[in-house]
């Protein structure tokens, strides 16, 4: 049983603040997937995150943004890291809540996600550049 490891880096298109379904964009950047294995995604930023969530109803994306904006507000008087704008410190806190990695099983050469699951870019800055992703594929 040989195990192969492939790694690629790519940049997601810039997006405004919010929760964005990026499954198709991510898979376009991947090489042919092995029959069985794991896809590990890592976002190289501290003000955005990755998550798996609802891929059918866009209201979920809107609601997630509202929930995170309610949980971590801008312009709190106790923030010390404020030089990069009102959205910067909240973006760092929100990225800790979502995390910076995802691991998805690969089965029969396809990502093995639930019917209603998709990959989200969780963008926490009001205006951000493209987000860099490292994709590592381990498989046979």
Superfamily of domain 4-139: YjbQ-like (2.60.120.460)
**How far, in Å, are 7, 42, 60, 113, 120 from residue 53 at the CA level?**
24, 17, 8, 10, 7
Domain edges within the chain: 4-139
pLDDT at 2: 84
**How far, in Å, are 35, 42, 73, 120, 133 from residue 102 at the CA level?**
19, 7, 25, 10, 11
pLDDT of 6-53, one tens digit each? 999 999 999 999 999 999 999 999 999 999 999 999 999 999 999 999
DSSP-assigned states of every residue in 24-76: HHHHHTS-PPPSEEEEEEEE--SSEEEEEEESS-THHHHHHHHHHHHHS-SS-
pTM of the model: 0.96
């Amino acid at each position: 049983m040989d195990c192969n490891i492939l790694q690629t880096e790519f940049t997601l298109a810039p997006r405004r603040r919010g929760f964005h379904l990026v499954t198709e964009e991510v898979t376009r950047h991947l090489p042919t997937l092995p029959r069985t294995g794991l896809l590990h995604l890592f976002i190289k930023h501290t003000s955005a995150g990755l998550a798996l969530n609802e891929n059918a109803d866009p209201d979920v994306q809107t609601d997630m943004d509202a929930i995170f904006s309610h949980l971590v507000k801008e312009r709190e008087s106790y923030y010390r890291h404020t030089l990069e704008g009102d959205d910067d410190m909240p973006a760092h806190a929100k990225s800790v809540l979502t995390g910076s990695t995802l691991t998805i099983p690969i089965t029969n050469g396809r990502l093995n996600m639930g019917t209603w699951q998709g990959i989200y870019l969780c963008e926490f800055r009001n205006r951000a550049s493209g987000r860099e992703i490292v994709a590592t594929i381990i498989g046979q």
